[in-house]
A and B are shown apart, each in its own frame.
Chain A
Amino acid sequence: MTGFVTEEELVAAVPRLTRTRLLAFVEAELIVPVRSDRGPVYRQIDRARAELACDLAEDFDLHEDALGMVLSLLDQLHGVRAELRAVLGALESERPEVRQRIGESVYIARRRG
């Protein structure tokens, strides 16, 4: 169970995060802590997400609904990017003619007009 932090530790670790703001994030399910017998605890991913949520909230005046939508889009984007990299990694180890063929298909599918 390493890497978990409590609510106080999280608020202390993220400069723009206040307890009120964290509770609002949790209430809106933008941040979902892990339940433990010490009460709610937060993972490293929650810390990074809280930091990003604070950036978005302050720099762009986003409130819960818009913030939730932006975060959800970012989750999708980052996930797809990681998967695309995995596909490209897998293709890397294929034979040149296979890569050539796939490259051509992708080019045709994504060609403009």
Chain B
Amino acid sequence: MSNDPYAALGLKKTATDEEIRKAYRKIARTSHPDLNPDDAGAEARFKAASAAYDLLKDPQQRARFDRGEIDATGQERAPHGFYREHAEQPGNPYRSGRQYQYSGGAEEFDASDIFAEFLRQRGREGAGFAGFGTDRGAGHSGGGFAARGPDRHYTLEIPFLEAVNGGKTRITLPDGGSLEVRIPEGASDGQTLRLRGKGGPGMGGGPSGDALVTLGVTAHRLFERQGNDIVLTLPITIDEAALGAKVAVPTIRGSVNLTIPKGASSGRILRLRGRGVKPMGGGAQGDQRVILSVVMPPKIDAELAGFLEGWRKTHAYDPRKGMTP
């Protein structure tokens, strides 16, 4: 009967728009697969009713169907990947909270309150899982069940400068508490920090697990990190390029003076030794590489144009020499 949208809604062709809407709502309430997860037939009924309703709710479309201009399947929706398939996965971020996110892992244990309570009781009673069934009666002799708490996984976005220079920040935890995270100097994107004992509590007197914090470093407007070097593009004026100059350059630890050599071209790279990133595990500190970029004045005035016109008659040069492919 799937070809007859009226039948899918349990209606006759003479039904009013209001009756169609009511019939559909009723089916949606009793048969939506997410609201009735145990009813095996619900999904089929709901799909049929949704398709039927999509077709019939628009009076013009309904009229076209009634006239036989379009068929019932012509308006079928794309396959519906129902939410419950996602919601049942361990670590559904919407179930455990909002601002943070557990990520799956081999030892990840996303215990709901019911389980946590159940396992705590087991631990207290000392009826160890290991001895379960085999030496019952001896289970209370103190050799109770103890397990290390689960590791917790978090992700943390930090600004570029905080990553290269280090710092302190806090993560808000699911239970409303927070966790202080010390960012080591030279931390890099994608790196995972392990905070010992800051994970889930142990069971039966076992030690707490660790918190594993994966860092995401946001890009900086000026600086780019390449290994332990910092790369910066520095705009300079034509007179600074031609005559040389001393200019202030931003670095990750404040501004320093840099000497622009006479006759510097765009693309020339100057190196500020030791002004890069201090690698986390020790080792040589990186440099800051400054890429020069000659910027023309906002307006080429008559004086400059006149000078250059005279100058090129006697000083022509060809920077594109030998560029034939």
Residues of A within 8 A of B (CB): 13, 15, 29, 32, 34-35, 37, 44-45, 47-49, 51-52, 55, 59-60, 71-72, 74-83, 95, 98
Contacts and interface: CB of A to CB of B under 8 A. Distances in A.
B87 A37 contact: no
Interface of B: 24-25, 28-29, 32, 34-35, 37, 77-78, 80-90, 92-95, 98, 101, 112, 114-115, 133, 157, 218-219
B86 A15 contact: no
Nearest to A94: B133
B77 A15 contact: yes
26 contacts: A13-B78, A32-B93, A32-B94, A32-B98, A44-B81, A44-B86, A45-B86, A45-B89, A45-B94, A47-B81, A48-B83, A48-B87, A49-B87, A51-B80, A52-B82, A59-B28, A60-B28, A71-B94, A75-B87, A75-B95, A78-B83, A79-B88, A79-B92, A79-B95, A80-B112, A82-B89
Contacts of A76: 95
Which 9 A-B pairs have CB atoms at the shortest separation, nearest pair first?
A: A78-B87, A45-B86, A82-B88, A52-B83, A48-B83, A75-B95, A59-B28, A48-B86, A79-B95
A50 to B, nearest CB: 9
A80 to B, nearest CB: 7
A48 B112 CA distance: 23
Contacts of B94: 32, 45, 49, 71-72, 75
Contacts of A48: 81-83, 85-87
B77 A78 contact: no
B93 A45 contact: yes
Contacts of A45: 83, 86-87, 89, 92-94
Given A52-B82, A77-B37, A83-B115, A59 B25 contact: yes
Interface of B is mostly: loop
Contacts of A82: 88-90
B81 A74 contact: no
B84 A79 contact: no
Contact of B25 (A15, A52, A60, A74): A60
A60 B24 CA distance: 10
A78 B92 contact: yes
A55 B112 contact: no
Contact of B78 (A15, A34, A52): A15
B81 A79 contact: no
A103 B25 CA distance: 38
A59 B85 contact: no
A13 to B, nearest CB: 8
A34 B82 CA distance: 20
A15 B133 CA distance: 55
A56 B82 CA distance: 13
Given A74-B87, A79-B92, A79-B95, A59 B81 contact: no
Contacts of B93: 32, 45
Given A37-B219, A75-B94, A49 B89 contact: no
B228 to A, nearest CB: 21
Contacts of B219: 37
A83 B87 CA distance: 12
Nearest to B97: A32
A78 B36 CA distance: 11
Given A49-B83, A74-B83, A75-B95, 17 more contacts: A15-B78, A32-B94, A37-B219, A45-B83, A45-B86, A45-B92, A48-B82, A49-B87, A49-B94, A51-B83, A55-B32, A60-B25, A78-B84, A79-B92, A81-B88, A82-B88, A82-B89
A69 to B, nearest CB: 13
A98 to B, nearest CB: 7
A83 B112 contact: yes
A51 B33 CA distance: 13
A19 B236 CA distance: 44
Contacts of A80: 112, 114
Contacts of A37: 218-219
A60 B219 CA distance: 44
